[in-house]
Each structure stands twice: as structure tokens, then as C-alpha cells.
Amino acid sequence: GAGVSQSPSNKVTEKGKDVELRCDPISGHTALYWYRQSLGQGLEFLIYFQGNSAPDKSGLPSDRFSAERTGGSVSTLTIQRTQQEDSAVYLCASSTRSGNTIYFGEGSWLTVV
């Protein structure tokens, strides 16, 4: 597609369940990022993949959060044992290696009940 694609658009899950959120970056973009946007915290960096380098995981809030990127393209963000405070919009973004322009997807709206 032309832009960053994320799925699901909306997800309601019960507290304690695991969720997987998917991101398909813009074709040819080597860098992929996950951010979280919530009312109280604004937009926060979570994790950053650049090519084959080890990801920068410094923004992951707890060990319940993990992400992988297979084949240098699609990425999955996994949240284990979801908590109500995990309710937020999870935004994926991608850029070329030079990274001058970072494009965001529409986000996955997660509600934990």
C-alpha cells in the first residue's frame, strides 16, 4: 500500500489477555517505530527497528511488551497479560534509512476492559 498499514484498527480485550498488533511499513522503508498515544501521557516512543541492527527497546514500559520484525518488513507488537493502563492508541511509523521523514499509520485503538 501507499502508507503505513496497521491492524486491527480497534481492539477490545479483557484484562489479562494477550494482544498482538501488526504493522506493515511503507515499501522500501528500513526503519520502523512503535509509539503509544494516551490521554495522560501524550505520544511516547516504545521501540525502534533499523535494518538488521539490534532494536532500540528503551521505551518499552515493562517486560509485558515485546516486538519483533520479520524479514525486515512487517512488525508485531505483543502485549502480554494486558492491564487497563495499556488502553491507548498504538501507532506504527516508518522511514528510509536517512529518516528525514517519518510516516505514521492510523493506529490501533486498544481498550482493555
Partner 1 sequence: QKEVEQDPGPLSVPEGAIVSLNCTYSNSAFQYFMWYRQYSRKGPELLMYTYSSGNKEDGRFTAQVDKSSKYISLFIRDSQPSDSATYLCAMSAGGTSYGKLTFGQGTILTVHP
**Which parts of this chain interact with partner 1 (CB under 8 A)?**
4, 31, 33, 35, 42-45, 48, 50, 56, 58-59, 91, 93, 95, 99-107, 109
- In terms of phi and psi (left: phi > 0; alpha: psi -120 to 50; beta: otherwise), the region of 42 is left
Residue that the C-alpha cell 532494536 belongs to: 55
Least distance to partner 1, CB of residue 81, Å? 26
Q: Which residue, 80 or 89, is less far from partner 1 as judged by CB? A: 89
Least distance to partner 1, CB of residue 59, Å? 7
CA distances from 72 to 28, 30, 92 (A): 10, 7, 15
Q: Which residue, 35 or 65, is less far from partner 1 as judged by CB? A: 35
Q: What is the rounded CA–CA span in Å between residue 41 and residue 31?
A: 24
CA distances from 109 to 2, 35, 86 (A): 21, 12, 11
Q: Which residue, 82 or 95, is less far from partner 1 as judged by CB? A: 95
Least distance to partner 1, CB of residue 19, Å? 19
